[in-house]
Amino acid sequence: MDFALIIALMPGVLASALRFATPIAIGAYSGVLCERAAVINIAIEGMMLVAAMVGDLVMLYTGNIWLGVIGGMLASGLLAILHGVLCINFKTDQIISGTVINIFAIGITGFAYRRFLATPTLTRPIPSTLQPIHIPFLAQIPILGDVLFQNRPIVYIMLILTFVLQYVLFKTPWGLRTRAVGEHPLAADTLGIDVYKVRHINVFLGGLVAGLGGVWFSLEQVGHFDMLMTNGKGFIGLAAMIFGKWTPVGSFIAALIFGLPEAIQITMNFYFPHVPYQFLSMIPYVLTMIVLAGVVGQAIPPAADGQPYDKQ
């Protein structure tokens, strides 16, 4: 292999790694928000899928991509409210509730796709994806500029979200209460903290965030909705959350590790077609399994994770 070629390909690979890491990281943040408040959300995948579909639908009917983004996020937030009510108020098994939402998402998006999106009567705006924003001056920095400052909007939002969430979770009253509710809800309750309220708000915010990850697929990456286009990224997001030890910054790094092989695969396909691409496309999923099997250090979840709280 040509060493110079690899060097030349580096910025491109890193930029696309960041791009592929985006939905994974956002999925992980959604998980962090929910699980720090002790609600397990395996429905992130389904929420993303619904958001991707609704986002395309709203864009199609309004002709505005950003309205599509908002519509997708709200749809996902609505599912999160459902998940919250089931898990927090009705104390349904959280895995079951999540599974139900995932199955529902596959059904509803498949239906909507065939009914409205596969052969639309309206035309999508051109372009139908969110366009890259070159940040003045910073985009000119060699390598770093290519990787960080010539991205599409949701990538930037993801980067900002990493630090905002890290700050909110660990430096603010809201974060302290969220973590308290996730670790020892009864203790929080005896100090006058409304456990249900904290959990509901976190799950709803988690839903909005998952929705942002969902519209990345339809409105930033592809330009329209495809069946099952989220392709398990919500689940990989959960693996990244665990890998990142339930912290936003950790999840971001983990998401990059998951995103990198995908970026390499695309480049490899192009320049080294004789290597079977299936091997590289396996890597994120294999990594997920390894992480979830607990090989990468012991990750300790919030103590009350997954347990409903019974108010006296």
Partner 1 sequence: MTKPPALEARGITKAFPGVLANDHVDLRLAQGEIHALLGENGAGKTTLMNILYGLYQQDEGQVFIGGQEVDIHSPNEAIAHGIGMVHQHFMLIPVMTVAENIMLGVEPRTARSRWLGFIGQLDYRRVESRVRELSSQHSLEVDPTALVQTLSVGAQQRVEIMKALYRQARILILDEPTAVLTPQESEELFQIMRSLAERGTSIIFITHKLKEVFAVADRITVMRNGQVVGSTTPEQATEQQLASMMVGREVLLRLSKAPAHPKEAVLSLENLSVNDDRGQKAVREVTLRVRAGEILGIAGVQGNGQTELVEALTGLRPIALGQVRIGEKTLKETSPRQIMEQGVGHIPEDRQKRGLVLRYSVEDNLVLCTYYQRPFAKGLIIQHEAIEENARRLIEEFDIRTPSARTPAGTLSGGNQQKVIVARELSRPIKLLIAAQPTRGLDVGSIEFLHRRLIEQRDAGYAVLLVSAELDEILALSDRIAVMYKGEIIDTLPAEQATREEIGLLMAGVGGHKTSPARQPVEVN
Residues found near partner 1 in the complex (CB under 8 A)? 167-168, 171-174, 176-177, 179-180, 183-184, 186-193, 303, 312
Least separation in angstroms between CB 303 and partner 1: 7
CB of 170 to partner 1, least distance (A): 9
Q: Provide, rounded to whole angstroms, the least separation between the CB of residue 5 and partner 1.
A: 47
Query: What number of other Cβ atoms are within 10 A of residue 5's Cβ?
Result: 11
Could you tell me the CA-to-CA distances from 69 to 66, 108, 148 in Å, in that order?
Answer: 5, 19, 22
| Phi, psi (rounded to 5 degrees) for 292 | -65, -25
Cβ of residue 45: shortest distance to partner 1, in angstroms? Answer: 28
Beta carbon nearer to partner 1, 130 or 208 = 208
Which phi and psi angles does 141 have, rounded to 5°? -60, 130
Q: How far is the CB of 188 from partner 1 (least distance, A)?
A: 7
- Cβ atoms of 307 and 95 within 8 Å: the answer is no
For residues 212 and 160, what is the distance between their CA atoms, to the nearest angstrom? 13
CB 297 to partner 1: min, Å:
15
For partner 1, which is the closer residue by CB, 176 or 249?
176
**Structural tokens at position 165:** 């969430």
> End-to-end CA distance of the chain, in Å?
67
Find all residues with CB under 8 Å of 118, minimum gap 6, and list them: none
Given the complex with partner 1, which of 179 and 199 has the nearer CB atom? Answer: 179
Cβ-Cβ contacts under 8 Å for 287 (sequence gap 6 or more): 239, 257, 258, 261
The distance of closest approach from Cβ of residue 36 to partner 1 in the complex, given in angstroms and rounded to an integer, is 12
Taking the least distance from each CB to partner 1, the nearer of 180 and 291 is: 180
State the Cα–Cα distance between residues 209 and 59, nearest whole angstrom. Answer: 19
Residue among 179 and 233 whose Cβ is closer to partner 1: 179
Give φ, ψ of 193 to 5 degrees. -90, 130
Which residues, other chains included, contact 89 with Cβ-Cβ below 8 Å and sequence gap of 6+?
Answer: 196
Residue number, 180 or 266, with CB nearest to partner 1: 180
* Cβ nearer to partner 1, comparing 134 with 171: 171
